[in-house]
Structure 1
Amino acid sequence: MHPDAPTPSVDQRDPSLRSASLGDLSARSLPRLESVTAVIRHHVRAQSVAAYEQWLQRIVPIAERFPGHRGVHVIRPAPGSTLYTVTLRFDSLPHAEDWFQSAARQTLLSEVMPLLSRDEQRQTVTGLEFWFHPEPGQKPAKRYKQLLLTLSVIFPLTMVVPLPVHWLALRWPWLGNSFLEHLLIAAIIVGLMTYVLMPRVTRLAAQWLYE
């Protein structure tokens, strides 16, 4: 298959939800959000940065076509560095492996290798591990520290986030469904934890976490 050819997507909708009762919906488990994150580090040759940027523009849209893909984030080098860190999120480990073992990625990887000063570094983490991913050479954060830091962030969110959601539910009848209300609360908390709070909190507490 040509690397630019789109990969057929998987329809993950469940038509039975349209006729499901409130009791059935309330008994369903919440969807797993961002369960697998792949962290990739590329040390780019200084003279190849422009070519690498062009390569990124090619590979990102192709990765997005794979089932289970949940987004990609590129952290570009700090001044004086040529280290790119790319994070890809998938809904499951099998979906992540489908991408990493695909012929399309192997072709693209062979194209980028001459632009790198060392081999690609890749690590796949699940759940909360992504928030406590140490830099190379650092020892992992102790479990009790991960627990305490996560609890210190998530506990206030569980107290605060339900209040505005409940207020909206009183004014928007369609949100009065218990399943939808709890799903929205969970989605807001996970979103704030992942994109806003935990990256900043772990950076501020890095010295304590990884000592």
Structure 2
Amino acid sequence: MNQTTQQESVTLIIRHRARPDSIAAYEAILRELTRAASEFPGHLGVDVMRQGEHFTSVLRFATANELQAWLDSPQRRELIERADPHLIDGEQKELHRAHEFWFTTPDNPQKQPPRWKQAAISYLVILPLVMLVPQLWRPLFAQVPLLGGFVPANMLIVATIVLLVVYVFMPRATRLFSAWLNAR
């Protein structure tokens, strides 16, 4: 990664393949890594997905510089050195500024499913939220009319939907439908 200042959030995907006899030891170190990353400035969250011995960590930071500070930190370096004996292929990193990483696979990160499948999964995730989230906010809007105005209500509804899609439902949906998404 370069050292240029970025004003947009960045996502780093890190893929590890643990040795079958070292999965428990690797998972313990991975928990330490995620905890240490969460204490760094600019950390926005981390999701870890496991498929067999393949572990995919999706780290989000507010800026590229804050991500780089974590990557260069002595804490991370020490933890990666401890994890390395438990890995088969070392570490693969991908930097993203968009959310297409939802549809990548550990065995072939460059290949993505057809766009129509990506759209179908996105539709299945977003449609129920669009119908449900406004209903969940309705009691608060009734109690606090200022929040129920057109602009504030829509800001709260859209922010809720976006956060739920990004952090909760889309990672789970892509795991659930991974066989269909990646079928040939």
Provide the TM-score with structure 1 as the length reference. Answer: 0.64
Aligned equivalent of 2:46: 72
Choose between structure 1 and 2: higher strand proportion.
2
Instruction: Please give the root-mean-square deviation of Cα atoms over the aligned residues, in Å.
Output: 3.2
**Structure 2: runs of 5 or more not aligned:** 1-7
**Structure 1: runs of 5 or more not aligned:** 1-33
**Which residue type is aligned with residue 158 of structure 1?**
V
Provide the TM-score with structure 2 as the length reference. Answer: 0.72
Aligned equivalent of 2:118: 146
Match of 1:49 among 20, 23, 30: 23
Is structure 2 residue 96 aligned with structure 1 residue 117? Answer: no
1:105 positional shift: 1.8
Aligned equivalent of 1:191: 163
Is structure 2 residue 67 aligned with structure 1 residue 96? Answer: yes
- Provide the secondary structure at the position in 1 that maps to 2:105: coil
* Separation in 2, partners of 1:148, 1:62: 36
Bigger Rg over Cα: 1
1:144 positional shift: 5.1
CA deviations 1:138-189 (Å, max 9, x no partner) are 7213445434543454355334422332442111346346654333212321
Aligned equivalent of 1:126: 97
Kept after mapping to 2: 8 A contact 1:134/1:210: no
* Separation in 1, partners of 2:22, 2:66: 31
* Separation in 2, partners of 1:77, 1:207: 15
**Which residue type is aligned with residue 190 of structure 1?**
V
**Which residue type is aligned with residue 95 of structure 2?**
T
Tell me the matched-pair count.
175
Aligned equivalent of 2:33: 59
Distance 1:199 1:109, change over 3 A: closer
* Separation in 2, partners of 1:140, 1:57: 28
